[in-house]
Chains A and B, each alone.
Chain A
Amino acid sequence: MADLQRAQRELVEAARQSSAQTKASDLKGYGREAQTLVSAERLAGRLTGFKATANELTTRLQIQDVALGRAAESVTKLKDELFQNLSLDSGEGIRAQLEEAFAVLKDTMNTNLGGRYLFGGVMNDRPPITADSLSDLAANPLTDSIEQGAASQMMRVEDSRVVSAGLVADDVITSAFASLKRLAEMDEGVDGPFDGDLTATQRAAVTSELTALNTAFDTILSRQSENGRLTKEVESASTRLTSRMNALDEAIGGIVNVDLAEVAVRLNQAQFAYESSASVFNVLRNMSLLNMLE
């Protein structure tokens, strides 16, 4: 009878394992392996968190890349136009070109994602470019037009890996703004404005600013490539995280999941044990001297 009950218990356990596909549903069921399991689950939890950060960071870096591309493009465009002015020896339209370049650069540096300024660094609650217009830029010191001293934001993408989440406007745009400021100052100053034929002073100034703008363009480009490198790094961290999570899932699966073939065999054995116990019981039931003593 006791054998019959035990066989039944084993049958129920094997059936539970095959339907839930997990070995147990509490700590006791895993016994000694519970420690490994809980530890692996904690690590998996942490990795999921890092993965979420990395994904968010990738999106952000991609938006930054677009913004930097636009900034670089507007500097190139300004350069080309100024070159054209030089070759035509005309000051016409320079002011408008400067205004346009200023507007585009300000717009890109003040890119805003969910209320946070991407190029603000740790001071991301306010726009990094504070000058309202080109005249503002010309009238005030450069440091008043661009938020100063903000450090990059730091984020963790892996256990031991904290990356700086991109760039601060100050680093990207200062040299380009310096050129714009100098040209705008000239336009508004005694040597200005730019209209009609270029004066000799104006010609010299525009020529030297062309070189400066080249440097500014290189700066923006190198920042963009830095941004690209960071994107790559975060992406590869994300890939590593994914493969670590997969490996971990496999390890957890090794502990938690049951080998269905094994369970099937066990289920069979349990069934067999149950049936044989029952048949022994049946034989015993019919075995009695009573039959002989009629």
Chain B
Amino acid sequence: MSIQSIMGTGLSALFANQQALKAVSTNVANVNTVGYSRLDVNFVSRSASGGMAGVEIEITRVANTFLSAAEMRGAADVSAADMLAQFMDRAQGLLGDPSDSSSVFATLDPVFSSFGSLAVDPSSALRQSSALSDLQTLLSQLDTTAEEIAALRDESHTRIVSAMEEANALMSGIARLNTSIQRATIGGVSSTEAETEQSRMLDRLSEIIDIRTQERTLGGVEVRTADGLLLVDIDAAVLGLSSTSDGEAYQGLVMMSPRSTTETPLESHLGGGELKGLLRARDHELVNLQLAFGEFAAGAAETLNAAHNSGTSVPAPNELTGRNTGLLATDRLNFTGVTHIGIVDASGNVVRNFRVDFNTQQILDDQANVTSFANSVGDFQTALNTAMGADGQVSFANGQLQLEAMAPGTGLAIRDDASSPAMRAGKGFSHTFGLNDLVTHGNALGYATGISGTDLHGFTAGQTMTFAVRNNDGSIMRRVDFTVGAGATMDSLRADLNTALQGYGQAQLNAEGRLQIVPTSNNVARIDVTQDTTVRGDTNMSMSELFGLGESIPLQRSRSLSIRSDIGSNPQLLASAQADLAGAAAGQRVLSPGDGRGALAIEASSTTSRRFAEAGGLVGQVTSISDYAARLAGHAGVRAEALEASKAAAQSVRDEVRARRMGEEGVNLDEELIKMTTYQQAYAAASRMIQAARDLYDITLNMV
């Protein structure tokens, strides 16, 4: 014990309080720095050889790992919900304001109303072209809206790529800081600045990907995904798009672990964050909207077609060319009921009249001649061709049925019987073959093919397809290859599909001949098709085109719908009349120019119920196109509202956690000011101590 030691102790207190004041000034300086954890000062008394020898100081970052982990999770949830809400908000906005005439749904009404007005004066060129122009507006609006939803998906994809680039930059930054923190720790130097910077980067990274952090023994952190995949230690993983693609619309996301060049699929490891939200918007929510919108557009087109096929234009068209139905000549007819096919002259008088009875498989003409046919498409075509003789010609090739009236000036009229209409899979004769469609599309609009389980499937053994099993987020969980087997019937095709799908899904063929693959496993949401090389005979149609399997084909149905080209260029071909063929003898008039019943039928079709298949979260239902429009609007509105609400909920959780973390880690100015006063006074006291020791020295020296 000496005066010198008092001097030393006082000096240590001076130094310690100086350091403490420095920490306080750093805290005060960073009072507004986001993500800054305040520095805490611990005084530790210094002991030497059993006696007290002053004080030393430790400066640490106040970091609450639990709260920061909770905030990271919260941040990830908020960003995911935010991205989803943003995209769905924009998507529902594309459908327009429901209360004015700009919405896509509002363009439906004028179409039906103009056909009602056409019925008032069916041969008016003005009314015909006005009906067509309203129809064209509807079709363009459908196309534009679908295109904009598709553009939103593309945009979410672009944002995924840029989010990955930002994540890559952040991860390599965190890895670099890990190295310098590690070096500082080993060298015994303070690394608080690097840690603060790193924590800021972690906060941003946690918004992009749902991450978990773990302290490393040598300083710094290890970053992993929520399910434990290593992203950063002293090296960083690299995120990117898969270098291989397998027919899906967007390339998959992959990750190369630190120091590795192997691509690991990333989607299934993401638990939250912007990336997850964007992926879910791209592969789930927007796809669902596209699918539902596709079903709506196809429903509108099919509603119009069904009604238009019941009518005939005046004068009757010389030739009726059907659409590619995907049917083969060997397919069974599967029709029930009766249809009337007439050849009429320019004044609408019957030249020939055929009553086709599918129940008895006989064609009865106006001269009481009977022609029988077997239950196949090809045989029916031959029989009708024979029955028509020199007056008409019927051909069937590449899935298309074609009827032609041979004598100049004559035309063809078809009308299903009023009491026992011809019917196959819910469609009339003319509609089944699309002989007098109003709206056309490159592919099939409806997938009720009328093919039954015992019919031949028509695909060639050895042709292949690849199915992609998608989970509830829309990410691909698995790919399943399928090869068409040796069995020739639809039932055997279905069984082969079930085997190939290994319990993920089941192929079902409904009564109307629609083949669907229904997910059977809990976490499987949809079964998509990524590749399809199957072709049905000479029709050039693949299995997915015929039955609407997967997503990319059904959702395209709202795109490029057009008015049948010959009607577009000659509005007189609008089927505004209906031919009274039932029982009409040769020479009897069955078509009149002032007859507007065909147009009336089209007007009435807006409230006619038809079957809508399950699409994009909207359940399958039998309803009218007007009602379906309302349900789709309600669905989109509610979905966007719900996502907005879940975003608000996630946000409030995050805010709460952030407030607590700020309370724990943040700088409180009052606290800092009190500390400053304390340290200032302690500094003054210590200097007073040194003064006292000096006085002691003086006294001692004077004594000498």
**Chain A contacts to B: CB under 8 angstroms:** 2, 22, 25-39, 41-43, 45-46, 48-50, 52-53, 56-57, 114, 116, 120-125, 149-151, 153-156, 159, 162, 165, 252, 255-256, 288-290, 293
B626 in contact (CB, < 8 A):
yes
Contact B105 A41 (CB under 8 A): yes
Contact B600 A39 (CB under 8 A): no
Contact B630 A39 (CB under 8 A): yes
Q: A45-B113, A125-B123 are in contact. Are A38 and B634 (CB under 8 A)?
A: yes
B453 in contact (CB, < 8 A):
no
Chain B residue numbers with a CB within 8 Å of A162 are: 600
B662 to chain A, nearest CB (A): 12
Closest to B634 in A: A35
Contact B638 A31 (CB under 8 A): yes
B395 to chain A, nearest CB (A): 33
Contact A26 B112 (CB under 8 A): no
Chain B residue numbers with a CB within 8 Å of A50 are: 116
Closest to A256 in B: B99
B259 to chain A, nearest CB (A): 43
A230 to B102, CA, bound (A): 37
Q: Is the interface of B mostly helix, strand, loop or mixed?
A: helix
Contact A32 B637 (CB under 8 A): yes
Contact A293 B630 (CB under 8 A): no
Please tell me which one of the listed residues A30, A33, A36, A46 contacts residue B109 in the complex, with CB atoms under 8 A apart: A46
Please tell me which one of the listed residues B121, B603, B631, B641 contacts residue A28 in the complex, with CB atoms under 8 A apart: B641
Contact B119 A155 (CB under 8 A): yes
Contact A49 B116 (CB under 8 A): yes
Closest to B645 in A: A31
Chain B residue numbers with a CB within 8 Å of A293 are: 673, 677
Please tell me which one of the listed residues A41, A114, A153, A156 contacts residue B603 in the complex, with CB atoms under 8 A apart: A156
Contact B629 A42 (CB under 8 A): yes
B247 to chain A, nearest CB (A): 33
Closest to B115 in A: A49
B480 to chain A, nearest CB (A): 37
B674 in contact (CB, < 8 A):
yes
Contact A153 B595 (CB under 8 A): yes
Chain B residue numbers with a CB within 8 Å of A27 are: 92-93, 95, 98, 633, 636-637, 640
Please tell me which one of the listed residues B95, B116, B597, B633 contacts residue A35 in the complex, with CB atoms under 8 A apart: B633
Identify 25 residue pairs between A and B in the complex whose beta-carbon atoms are under 8 Å apart, listed by A's number.
A2-B655, A26-B92, A26-B98, A27-B633, A28-B93, A28-B640, A29-B637, A31-B638, A32-B637, A32-B638, A34-B98, A35-B637, A39-B629, A41-B106, A42-B109, A42-B630, A49-B109, A49-B117, A52-B113, A122-B592, A123-B593, A149-B589, A153-B594, A289-B669, A290-B669
Contact A124 B99 (CB under 8 A): no
**Chain B contacts to A: CB under 8 angstroms:** 89, 92-93, 95-99, 103, 105-106, 108-110, 112-114, 116-117, 119-121, 123-124, 577, 589, 592-597, 600, 603-604, 606-607, 626-627, 629-631, 633-638, 640-641, 644, 655, 669-670, 673-674, 677
Chain B residue numbers with a CB within 8 Å of A39 are: 626-627, 629-630
Chain A residue numbers with a CB within 8 Å of B89 are: 28
A8 to B488, CA, bound (A): 68
Chain B residue numbers with a CB within 8 Å of A150 are: 592, 594
Contact A42 B604 (CB under 8 A): no
B592 to chain A, nearest CB (A): 4
Closest to A32 in B: B638
Contact A28 B644 (CB under 8 A): yes
Chain B residue numbers with a CB within 8 Å of A288 are: 669-670
12 additional contacts (CB under 8 A) given A26-B95, A50-B116? A27-B640, A34-B638, A37-B630, A38-B629, A46-B606, A116-B123, A150-B594, A153-B596, A155-B120, A156-B600, A252-B99, A289-B669
Closest to B641 in A: A31
A154 to B583, CA, bound (A): 22
Closest to B593 in A: A125
B598 to chain A, nearest CB (A): 11
Closest to B633 in A: A38
A38 to B107, CA, bound (A): 12
A53 to B596, CA, bound (A): 13
Q: Tell me which of A50, A56, A121, A124 has the highest count of chain B C-beta atoms within 10 A of its own C-beta.
A: A124
Q: A26-B92, A34-B634, A125-B123 are in contact. Are A289 and B674 (CB under 8 A)?
A: yes
Contact A121 B594 (CB under 8 A): yes
Chain B residue numbers with a CB within 8 Å of A121 are: 592, 594
Contact B636 A289 (CB under 8 A): no
Closest to A51 in B: B113
Contact B600 A155 (CB under 8 A): yes
Closest to B95 in A: A27
Q: Tell me which of A28, A149, A255 has the highest count of chain B C-beta atoms within 10 A of its own C-beta.
A: A28
A143 to B261, CA, bound (A): 94
Closest to A150 in B: B592
Contact B120 A56 (CB under 8 A): yes
Contact B120 A45 (CB under 8 A): no
Contact A26 B600 (CB under 8 A): no
Contact A154 B119 (CB under 8 A): yes
